[in-house]
Amino acid sequence: MPDPTHTPPAQQIAVSCKGVTKTFGTGAAAFQALRGVDLEVRTGELLMLVGPSGCGKTTLISTIAGVLRRDGGECSVFGHDYLSMTEQETTRFRGEHIGFVFQAFNLIPTLTAAENVSTPLVIKGMKRKPAVAEAREMLRKVGFDERMLESSPVDLSGGQQQRVAIARALVHQPDLIVCDEPTSALDSETGRKVMELMRGLALASNRALIVVTHDARIYEFADRIARMEDGRITGIETPQRPAASASEILTTLKP
Amino acid sequence: MYYYALKMLIGDRAKYIGIIIGLTFASLLITQQSAIFAGVMSRTFSFLTDVALPDIWVVDPQVQYIDDIKPLQDTKVIRIRGVAGVAWAVPLYKGSLRARLDNGTFQTCITIGLDDETLIGGPPQMLSGSISDLRRNDGVIVDTVGAHGKLARSGPDGTRIPLKVGDTLELNDHRVFVVGICKITETFQANPVIYTTYSRATTFAPQERRLLSFVIAKAAAGEDPEVVCNRIREATGLMAYTPAKFKELTFYYYLKYTGMPINFLTAVALGFIVGITISGQTFYNFTLDNLRYFGTLKAMGTTNSTLLKMILLQALIVGAIGYGLGVGLASAWGALLSGRTQIAFYLPWQLLLITAAAVLIICLSAAALSIRKVMKLEPAVVFRS
pLDDT tens per residue, range B93-112: 999 999 988 778 889 999 99
Instruction: Assess if residue A194 is contained within a domain.
Output: yes
Q: Give the pLDDT of residue A91.
A: 92
The pLDDT of residue B312? 92
B336-355 burial: b if 16+ Cβ within 10 Å, else e:
eebeeeebbbbbeeebbebb
Identify which of B10, B292, B300 has the shortest CB distance to residue A119.
Answer: B300
Counting Cβ atoms within 10 Å, is residue A205 exposed (0-12), middle (13-18) or buried (19+)? exposed
Q: Is the dihedral of CA B122, B126, B131, B133 positive or negative?
A: negative
Q: How far apart are CA A88 and CA A108, in angstroms?
A: 23
> Is residue A249 predicted with pLDDT exceeding 90?
no
Q: Is residue A1 part of a domain?
A: no
Confidence band of A194 (pLDDT split at 50, 70, 90): confident
Residue A94: pLDDT band with limits 50, 70, 90: very high
Low-confidence stretches of chain B (pLDDT < 70) are: 339, 342, 384-385
Count: domains in chain A: 1
Evaluate whether residue A53 is within a structural domain: yes
**Is A118 inside a domain boundary?**
yes
Q: What is the mean pLDDT of residues A108-119?
A: 93
Q: Is the pLDDT of residue A163 over 90?
A: no
pLDDT at A4 over 80: no
**pLDDT at A253 > cutoff 80:** no
The pTM for the full model equals 0.76
Partners of B301 on chain A (C-beta within 8 Å) are 91-96, 98, 120, 123-124
Classify B271 as helix, strand or coil.
helix
Q: Is the pLDDT of residue A3 over 50?
A: no
For A147: left if phi > 0, alpha if psi spans -120 to 50, otherwise beta; the answer is alpha
pLDDT at residue A6 in the model: 46
Q: Do A91 and B1 touch (CB under 8 A)?
A: no
Closest partner residue to A67 (CB to CB) among B292, B380, B385 is: B380
Instruction: Output the DSSP codes for B328-364.
Output: HHHHHHHHHHHTTS-------HHHHHHHHHHHHHHHH
What number is the average pLDDT over the span A74-89?
91
A8 found inside a domain: no
Does a structural domain hold residue A64?
yes
CATH number at A85 reads 3.40.50.300
CB contact under 8 A, A123 and B301: yes
Interface test with A, best of B2, B297, B383, B385 (most A CBs within 10 A): B383
Parent domain of A180:
13-253
Residue A240 confidence (pLDDT)? 63
Whether the per-residue pLDDT at A44 is higher than 50: the answer is yes
Backbone φ/ψ region at A105: left (φ over 0), alpha (ψ -120 to 50), beta: left
pLDDT for the residue B39: 87
Residue A224 lies in a domain: yes
Percent of chain A, pLDDT > 90? 45
Q: Is A2 within a domain?
A: no
What residue of B is the nearest CA neighbor of A99? B300
More confident residue, A137 or A202: A137
A64 with B379: CB under 8 angstroms? no
Average pLDDT value over all residues in chain A: 85
* Local confidence band at A8 (pLDDT 50, 70, 90 cut-offs): very low
Question: Quick one: pLDDT at residue B353?
Answer: 93
